[in-house]
Structures are given as structure tokens and as C-alpha cells.
Amino acid sequence: PFLENVVKHEKFLSGEYDTSFIDHTPELFLFPKRKDRGTKMLAYIGNVTVNGFPGVDQGEKPDFGKPRIPKVNLLEEPPAGTKQILDERGADGLKEWVKEQDEVLVTDTTFRDAHQSLLATRVRTVDLKNIADASARMQSDLFSFEMWGGATFDVAYRFLKEDPWMRLLTLREKIPNVMFQMLLRASNAVGYKNYPDNVIQEFVKRSAYAGIDVFRIFDSLNWVEGMETAIQAVRDSGKVAEAAICYTGDILDPTRTKYDTDYYKSLAKELENQGAHILAIKDMAGLLKPEAAYRLISELKDTVDLPIHLHTHDTSGNGIFQYARAIEAGVDIVDTALGAMSGLTSQPSASSLAYALKGNTRQLKLDVDHSQTLSHYWEDVRKYYAPFESGMNSPHSEIYKHEMPGGQYSNLQQQAKAVGLGARWEEVKEMYARVNQMFGDIVKVTPSSKVVGDMALFMVQNDLDEQSVIEKGNSIDFPDSVIELFSGYLGQPHGGFPEDLQKVILKGKEPITVRPGELMEPVDFDKLKEELFHELGRPVTSFDALAHALYPKVFKEFTDTAAQFGDVSVIDTPTFFYGMKLNEEIEVEIETGKTLILKLVSIGEARADGTRVLYFDLNGQQREIVIKDES
Ligand code: 3PY
Ligand code: ZN
């Protein structure tokens, strides 16, 4: 009550007091109304039990058993790692340290890209938190954990109904020794469109504060102008600016001259001049063939004086071979995932790569046995997310034809199903490649890849081809994302847009050629916070304000769900997706040291008004919950 009075005080609201402590200690301000936390949670569990979870076929809750969490000594601090090097020597010192290493450094993507690519980004904070103590102690020699950004931010709010900032803060507390890395879509932040410059600056500042050390920054058209604001913001925050070049095309194919080695070399030089600490090659679709990797890395090593970090997806099955050749060429850091979360659209397996390099002059800086042990945990946990698997179960060399990013494959497939094109998935993939050519052979990575995907779905759905699009173009209502791309709101592609197509899409509207951020009004964060404070009736952190600035609608739905069900992130994943079985008993740790014991005692018959009464036992007391049966 004291805090509530303080934050409602008019001087507080007018900003006369220094309220930065709210931003610095957001956890102090997350005080759900205690009296009905249990009831709200039962309402969530009751609802999923009766009505199921979107995307999860309703049926008997599978019996998953307990995942294998390796035992570690929590009384011992995790060994010092790269986080301490960064904190002690700064971003430039860290960069020098990387250059001095003989071994190849490793980023583990299990916490982000691996599940984004295999499980439609659905892995929940509780499953990351449960393995975090062990990961900190068993993977202390990693370069970084890639654990945030990309689609995780949006999916956390939108589908998992949990706060991604709390994920970051929670993991940071448990893993104080290894750098945290995120994927930042430059001027698109963690969204699908450009935002005003001050949103990018504020986002970087707060993410750095909450625990991100390395920002991998890319532009979805490799447009360096679009990356400048983000690179500068990261430099200003004292963190590591890892500027990425997205790899597309094929430098080995003499007929595909648009993206040749010189193109990549000149981009690399530009990014070095922009102040990048590390250069990333982001092979988001896994198109970089082993021999191309050797050539590209060799040439880039001669072009820039920066450590080089290579990222790929193993969709074709050639990932290990690619990395081995890149390592011969002198690459400094590679991205891998733990065995059970690796391969196919995800990253290559860390332990497989380590074994593949035996006898090589350069070895991975990696504890293979520990990686194996941690992989057992993920083998168990991955089963929870079976409904979100893409169904791809063998390598797809067709990737070299359709060029679809690993992170997009399972998502686009879900999108296709949602619009009734599930059975025409093969056609959608083929159309994806054709749309790319229609668009002038562009870089395809979020959000430009989403535009290509939207257009491919649109064309298959409406039985359109390249010719009919131009011929009937004036009477076609193109998807909004396509209009946005051709208006220049995602930046400028290398070589420009195809003019005839641009004309029919824009229908007389003039495209922009400047940086979209220059044209946008900055967001007034103080004002936004105040408005949100009134709307939500609770203190508002800078994290909330940023979430609202990025996704107003998704954030609103998230806060509505939170008001209805409380903090659902603490519920174990099987229960979160499948609800409870009759007579099942579960435990939920709602805060450190405070656990609820829940049992589902009975489910009543549907009543005339379509509701059912569920009886639960909550810490020994009976509770009745009324749920509307939507079936
Ligand atoms: C993302 O932007 O989410 C990606 O993973 C792009 O590859
Ligand atoms: Zn990726």
C-alpha cells in the first residue's frame, strides 16, 4: 500500500521525483494481488483442462516423467567466464581476448534460435530456468548463451503469456558468468517493422541493463544505413556490437553475381567502419556451402581486423562440414546447439562438431561430456513441445532452392495451415523461391522473409503467378507487408526494387528512399508510462512501456491475460499446455520458497449455460472454479 500511494502521488506522476529505481528494480514492483493468486492460477489450469491450448490437440495429458536435471553444487559459484572478461576489460578488451584464443569459441543457441527453429519459439521460461544453474556451471567456457531476441520476445507475450524481460532477469541471476547474446533486427528491434530511432535506443539501453552483453545486429536487406542507430546505441551502452551480414545467394555460382565475394567484403568493411566489435556471418537459411564458407571466411579475414562469428542452420545436413571448413579458414566463434536441440532447421550439434574436429589443429573450447549431460535434459523437455514440431525429420537439401530461413520454416508452415493451405505446403515452398526472384532476389530474413512468405501464401491462395500479378496488379489488394516493403519502410534492397512490380503494388504512391526512422515521430516514453499507469492501474516499468511501443495490441492482450490468470509463467509446461488429469497432484512454485500444491478432484457435467464446475484442492482447501466450456 505504501508503494501504491507513492506511485499514485501527483508529484510522482508529474515526474518530479527520480523514479529510476523502478527501472532498476522492476521485481519490487511486480506485486500481484496476493489474495487471489491461487484462484487465478486454478482458473487458467481449469480453462486449459476443459478447453485445451491453441495449437495443442486436446486429449489425455501425456505422462512425461521428470526431466533429467544434472546435480550441481549450488553453494559453489559458477566459474568465471566471458561475462567477467567483458565487465573487466570492456567491449574492446573482449574483442582482443577473442583474437588471442587458439581454440574456436562456441555460442550455445539452445535457449533461443534452436527452439525458434525447431519448436516455433515455444520454449517457456520455466524450462530454461530449471536448467540454468546447471548450465552456468557446466558450460562456463562458452563464448555466450544466445537466449533472447529474434522471435522470443513477441512469442513470449503473444502465445506464452509471459514477460520476456522477466526471462532475461531470471536467467541473468542464475547465470552470472557467461555473456548473454541476443538477436536484434536493427531498426526493426524485435518486431517486423521499422521503429523510431529513440525506440531502438531505449530498447538497447534497457536490454543492456537487464542483462544482454552481445547484440547481434542485422538488417533484413543488409542495408548498412538501417543498422547505424542500433550499432551506435550498443556502443553507447558499453556492450558488444556484433554486426551481422546475412548470407544469401551462392558465391560459388558464377551465374549468381548479385551477391558475390566482393559484395560481402565491402559490407564487412563498412560495418567495421561503423564501429562493430565483431563481425557475424548470419547464414540464416543454411545456404553457405562448405567450400564457400572456406573462401568467404578466408577473404573476410584478410579484409577486416575483427573476430568473425559464424551462424548457420543445419537444414541441409551440411552444417558440420561448413563449420569445419570455416574453422580451417580461421573463423573465431561458431553457433551450435546442445545435441537434443540441434540439427535440421536448428544449429549443428556442439558435441558432434567437437568430435568431428578431433585430430584437427584447432579444437572447440567446449566440455563435450557436460554438453552431453545437459542434452539429456533437453531430450526430455523437448517432448513437452511435440505439438509445435515442424514435422521435418530428415535433412532437406531443397533449402538451396527455396532459401527459407531455419527460423521461418516451422512458422510459415503453421501460417499455411491456418489459412487452409496445409495440404499445399510443397507449392508454398516452391512459390517462396519464385517470389524471391520476382522481388529481384532479395535477402530473406525477418522481416523481409516474412514478406516473401506472405506473398507466397497470397499467390498460392489466389492462384496467381508472376505474369498475372503484373497484369491484374491494379485490381489486386496486396498484403500490407508487401506494400510496406515496396514503399521502402523496411529499407532499401541491394540493387533496388523491380520497377514494374513496385508500380502495380504501390498504385501511384511514392516510395521512400531515406531511413524510415528519420521520418517517424519519437515515442514520448514518460507520457506513455503515465497513460499505461492509468490504463493498467499498476506501476509501469520502462520494460512495459517498451513492450507497448513495440507491440501495443499484443502487450494489451498480455496484460489482460495477466489480470485474469495472474503470472502463468510459473506453471510447469505439461500443465500449461495440457491442463490436469483427474486426481493428479502438481506443485507450482509461485515465488522462491512459496509453493502451491494443487489437485484436480472432479470435473462437473456441462450445465445448461455451457459452464462446468471444477473442484480443486489447493494446499488442502477445496476450491470451486467455474469454467465456460467452449466446445
Ligand atoms: C529472427 O530475426 O528471428 C531470426 O532468427 C532471423 O534469422
Ligand atoms: Zn538463425
pLDDT at 73 over 90: yes
- Say which residues have a Cβ less than 8 Å from residue 629's Cβ, sequence separation at least 6: 50, 51, 606, 610, 611, 612
Could you tell me if the CB of 150 is within 6 A of ligand 1? Answer: yes
pLDDT at 393 over 60: yes
Q: What confidence tens digit (pLDDT) does each residue in 441-457 have?
A: 999 999 999 999 999 99
pLDDT at 367 over 70: yes
What is the pLDDT at residue 19? 53
Could you tell me if the CB of 114 is within 6 A of ligand 1? Answer: no
What is the pLDDT at residue 111? 98
Could you tell me if the CB of 191 is within 6 A of ligand 1? Answer: no
Could you say which ligand is closest to the alpha carbon of residue 448? 1
Cβ(374)–Cβ(138) below 8 Å: yes
Q: Whose CA is nearest to atom 7 of ligand 1?
A: 284
Nearest CA among 173, 121, 172 for reference residue 144 = 172
Q: ipTM of this predicted complex? A: 0.97
pLDDT at 302 over 70: yes
* Distance separating alpha carbons of residues 161 and 559, to the nearest angstrom: 9
How much is the average pLDDT of 482-501?
97
pLDDT at 261 over 50: yes
* Per-chain residues with Cβ under 5 A from ion ligand 2: 113, 284
Could you tell me if the CB of 246 is within 6 A of ligand 1? Answer: no
Could you tell me if the CB of 185 is within 6 A of ligand 1? Answer: yes
**Mutation pick for ligand 1 pocket among 446, 448, 490 (CB with most ligand atoms within 8 Å):** 446
Mean pLDDT of the chain: 94
pLDDT at 300 over 70: yes
Nearest CA among 388, 387, 404 for reference residue 396 = 404
* Distance separating alpha carbons of residues 64 and 127, to the nearest angstrom: 14
What is the pLDDT at residue 6? 47
How much is the average pLDDT of 323-331?
98
- According to DSSP, residue 337 is labeled B
The three three-digit cell numbers of residue 428, written as one number: 508454398
Could you tell me if the CB of 407 is within 6 A of ligand 1? Answer: yes
What is the pLDDT at residue 86? 98
- In 337-454, DSSP assigns E strands to none
User: From the alpha carbon of 113, which atom of ligand 1 is closest?
Assistant: 5
Could you tell me if the CB of 78 is within 6 A of ligand 1? Answer: no
Q: What confidence tens digit (pLDDT) does each residue in 133-181 have?
A: 999 999 999 999 999 999 999 999 999 999 999 999 999 999 999 999 9
User: From the alpha carbon of 407, which atom of ligand 1 is closest?
Assistant: 5
* Distance separating alpha carbons of residues 498 and 455, to the nearest angstrom: 15
The three three-digit cell numbers of residue 124, written as one number: 517457456
- Buried/exposed 108-122: b ≥16 CB within 10 Å, e otherwise: bbbbbbbbbbbbbbb
Could you say which ligand is closest to the alpha carbon of residue 151? 1
- Measured in Å, residue 60 CA sits from the centre of ligand 1 at 34
Lowest mean pLDDT of 242-251, 388-397, 553-562, 614-623, name the range.
388-397
Could you say which ligand is closest to the alpha carbon of residue 184? 1
- Measured in Å, residue 446 CA sits from the centre of ligand 1 at 5
pLDDT at 416 over 60: yes
- Measured in Å, residue 33 CA sits from the centre of ligand 2 at 39
What is the pLDDT at residue 21? 52
Taking the CA atoms of residue 575, residue 577, residue 580 and residue 584 in that order, the dihedral angle to the nearest 10 degrees is -40
* Distance separating alpha carbons of residues 299 and 290, to the nearest angstrom: 14
Could you tell me if the CB of 446 is within 6 A of ligand 1? Answer: yes
Could you tell me if the CB of 435 is within 6 A of ligand 1? Answer: no
What is the pLDDT at residue 390? 83
- Measured in Å, residue 489 CA sits from the centre of ligand 2 at 23
Could you say which ligand is closest to the alpha carbon of residue 449? 1
- State the DSSP string of 144-189: EEEEEETTHHHHIIIII---HHHHHHHHHHH--SSEEEEEE-GGGT
Could you tell me if the CB of 183 is within 6 A of ligand 1? Answer: yes
pLDDT at 23 over 80: no
Q: Whose CA is nearest to atom 4 of ligand 1?
A: 150
